[in-house]
Amino acid sequence: MAALIRDSSTVKVGDGEVTVRGWIQDTRNLGGISFIALRDRYGVIQLTLPKKKIEPELFKTLTTISRESVVAVTGEVKESNQTELGLEIIPSAVEVYSEASTPLPMGVIDKVNVEMDTRLNNRFMDLRKPEIRAIFELKSLMVRLIVEAMEENGFTQVYTPKIVGSGAEGGATLFQIEYFGKKAYLAQSPQLYKQMLMSTGLDRVFELGPAFRAEKSNTNRHVTEFISFDGEFTWINDQEDVMHMIETVIDYVLKGLKERGAKQLEILGKEINIQPTPYPILKYEECLKIVNDAGLDLKDGDDLGTEGEKIIGEYMAEKGKDLYFIAEYPEAEKPFYIMEKDGTPYSYSFDLDYKGQEISSGGQREHRFDRLVARIEKIGLNPDDFTFYTDAFKYGMPPHGGWGIGIDRLLTKMLDLPNVREGILFPRDMQRLLP
């Protein structure tokens, strides 16, 4: 019978003979006796080999096989007070499925610091560490919680195209591709499509899907492919309705992770801080003053920038707040689909920042056809290139708003990981296309 190591409830003393399968993590040869740590997803079990009691061929195979080889070992389960599981296995047979080459490109249990590049180049090996896998188990749980929260609030999950005919978030970060003799692009966001749906009666939608940005900046928070969690809904009164919806969802996700991800959080040695809702809302103008008081020299209309965001992060941390909105950015800084705040140079837009880093943008959209076309023109784009989108505004479009959250950033901020790449299995950036 094959058994997973899992815990002592799966393989127990009294089971008699069992077969366990996994990776040879470590071998200690002490002359008359050898110990092998066999690892699977759930943990490590000890194989104990008293030389005199083990058939010589079997002893040789097991004690000389390279680390990280994959084997099935059959043997008797014995009680042991020397191991964490309280048991050990005395092998009677082995089947070698796959022998690992030596030397290993990096260790799994060695306590040496391996560069992130080496780890990412050998991600298959890196992911053998429970604390690395825990990050992705939490990410999987995060997505499940997002879906639960959105369904609870009446949203429908949708899928919009990732091969598109025009960009939504500015030309600078568009990836162009060849599409049967025509120019096409990889979608930077589902923005235009989720808005078009607002004219249909599918009036609360969300999407979890890849977004592509030709980011030329090599930072710890930018990648060229990330997972965007977008929400869009109608009949809003103002952008505060959108902010409240986001915080409802994030609050559900944080609480769910704390509760249902407790095991993984313990492996990582992390705790999740649940900040009570509502999250504070700072106005852009207020933030400008805070960052300039802290020594920056930004003019009204300037982007707060990474440095500015960091300063606001520190300012809010002193007030015990990790999560806060920065609202009403200058309209000139924001894309054409955002609604202007008439009579001011600002707009009904916001970012949600988490520990000094933007994790989401959103706002109220311009739903009035003429105003939308005027904004497209004002930004220097040709409205004729966007009729596929603006047509949906021509025949009855309700007021609406929404947001996009980069879930890789949300995860890395939540777990205080130093780089967004830590939260992506196989990250893509300017330098990295493989693995």
Binding interface with ligand AMO (CB under 6 A): 169, 189, 191, 213, 215, 222-223, 226, 228, 230, 358-363, 402-406, 408-409, 420
Q: Could you give the CA distance from residue 392 to residue 293 in angstroms, rounded to a whole number?
A: 45
The CB-nearest residue to ligand AMO is: 406
Closest CB to ligand AMO among residues 45, 246: 246
Q: Which structure tokens are listed for 128?
A: 């053998």
Closest CB to ligand AMO among residues 3, 158: 158
Least distance (Å) between residue 432 CB and ligand AMO: 13
Least distance (Å) between residue 392 CB and ligand AMO: 16
Element (H, E) at 227: strand 225-234
Does residue 271 have an active-site annotation?
Answer: no
For residue 94, what are the β-bridge partners?
73
Does residue 331 have an active-site annotation?
Answer: no
Least distance (Å) between residue 411 CB and ligand AMO: 11
Least distance (Å) between residue 187 CB and ligand AMO: 10
Q: How far is CA 265 from CA 42, 139, 259, in A?
A: 15, 12, 10
Does residue 358 have an active-site annotation?
Answer: yes
Q: Which residue is catalytic, options 128, 365, 409, 421?
A: 409
Maximal C-alpha separation, the chain: 90
Does residue 409 have an active-site annotation?
Answer: yes
Q: Which residue is catalytic, options 68, 309, 340, 358?
A: 358
Neighbours of 208 (CB within 10 A): 18
Closest CB to ligand AMO among residues 59, 350: 350
Does residue 361 have an active-site annotation?
Answer: yes
Closest CB to ligand AMO among residues 75, 406: 406
Closest CA to 43 of 91, 5, 90, 69: 5
Closest CB to ligand AMO among residues 220, 292: 220
Least distance (Å) between residue 173 CB and ligand AMO: 7
Strand stretches in 43-86, DSSP E? 43-50, 70-79
Does residue 432 have an active-site annotation?
Answer: no
Q: Which residue is catalytic, options 361, 365, 366, 422?
A: 361
Q: Which residue is catalytic, options 119, 128, 222, 400?
A: 222
Does residue 365 have an active-site annotation?
Answer: no
For residue 231, what are the β-bridge partners?
206, 403
Q: How far is CA 282 from CA 50, 141, 287, 321, in A?
A: 68, 30, 7, 12
What residues contact 262, with CB distance under 8 A and at least 6 apart? none
Residues marked active site are found at 213, 215, 221-222, 358, 361, 409
